[in-house]
Structure formats: C-alpha cells, structure tokens
Amino acid sequence: AELRARGVPVEVVGLGGLMAEPEVADLVATLRVLADPLAGSAAARLLTGARWRIGAADLAALWRRARELATPQDGSPLDVAVAEQAEMTGLVDAIDDPGPADRYSEEGYRRIRALSRELAALRSRLDQTLPELVADIERTMLLDVEAVARPGSVGRVHLDAFADVVTEFAESSSSPTLLAFVDYLAAAEHAEDGLEPGEVVVATD
C-alpha cells in the first residue's frame, strides 16, 4: 500500500497475496457465499464492500434477522443457544429473506434485495465450469467494471491472474467443483497468511 501510494507499481507474488487484493477478495467472497450458506464473514464482506456499502444500522438489523431465522419457534434453551451461535453464520439466509422492509433504511433494504437477486441468479447457473462461473461472477457483480476503475488498470491485472489460477485448477484437479476450489483457496490463504520476505515484486516500466 505504501509503495502504491508513492506511485510505484507493485505485484504481490503468491495466491494468498492475490486474494488480498480488493477485487479478487470480493470475487472469492462471492464464491464462498455460493458454496456455503453459512459463510457469514464472506457475506459481510460483500455487504460492506465498495459496491453495496451497507451501513452499520442496516447490517445490525440483518444480523438480528439471521438470528430470528435460526431460532426455532418456542425453542428449548438448548435450541436458543444453538441459534445464538448460528446467528454469526446465518447472514446468507438473512440476505435471501431479510424480513419486513421497515426494519431497514429504504436504500439499505433496496441494496440487500438487489444483492439477494444477484446471488440467486448466480446459484441458478452453478452448473457452469469453474472458469465460466468466475467470469459470470465478474460480470454479474460488476467486479470487472470496478477493476477497470482502479488506477493503472491494476484491478484487471489481478482478476486476470486469478482467472489463470481458476483455469489451472480446473484443468489439473480430479474434482474441479466449486466446493473443492473454495477449499483449495482456504488452504492457500492459510498457508500464505502474512507476507514473507521476497513476496513483493516491484514492477518497472
């Protein structure tokens, strides 16, 4: 970040570093939400990211809705305790079913419903190959547009690099499914957590 602030173009080497770039992080978050309905942290990233910008009050209302959906009617104390834990992971369900509009700001509710429709459309097209799905997510979530808007088109470079990772995985894996790829990304992210010396390459023009 400091190098870029000084106008020096840089590239972070390694999949873990690539996934830290904003446009790729949003793409990965979408993949995780599509693969796992309990991916609450990934859903929160989408909601609060540059595109949707859901405010704190609307996000809190959505968390309450997640807990409401997870709590059985007339549940036992054990059921309630389980529901309290599920609140942190049930955000995807709340996006799909946010409840009454008057719980949210008018704009916040509109954005939540728009995100819900986009995720539903993507779920209906999960039979695509991984490379096709990733390209579809870019278009549907307007990540390609946001990437081009970044200075120096660095965002497009990152999305292209991630597309290469997707293609390589799809061609080399014995099980190139969405869930397998999400697990692969999680393992890579864990293995490369934090930058080590030599992981940053300074590009020269």
10-44 residue pLDDT tens? 766 678 888 988 889 999 999 999 999 889 999 99
Q: Is the Cα dihedral 121, 108, 27, 191 positive or negative?
A: negative
In our burial notation (b when 16+ CB lie closer than 10 A, e otherwise), range 49-65 reads: bebbebeeebbebbbeb
Calculate mean pLDDT across residues 172-195.
Answer: 84
93-145 residue pLDDT tens? 999 999 999 999 999 999 999 999 999 999 999 999 999 999 999 999 998 88
Q: Which amino acid is at 90?
A: G
C-alpha distances in Å from residue 106, one per residue of 100, 110, 193: 11, 6, 39
48-102 residue pLDDT tens? 998 899 999 999 999 999 988 887 665 555 555 554 454 455 899 999 999 999 9
pLDDT exceeds 60 at position 197 = no
- Single out the residue of 45, 54, 162, 70 nearest to residue 108, CA to CA: 54
Question: What number of other Cβ atoms are within 10 A of residue 144's Cβ?
Answer: 18
Three-state secondary structure call for residue 109: helix
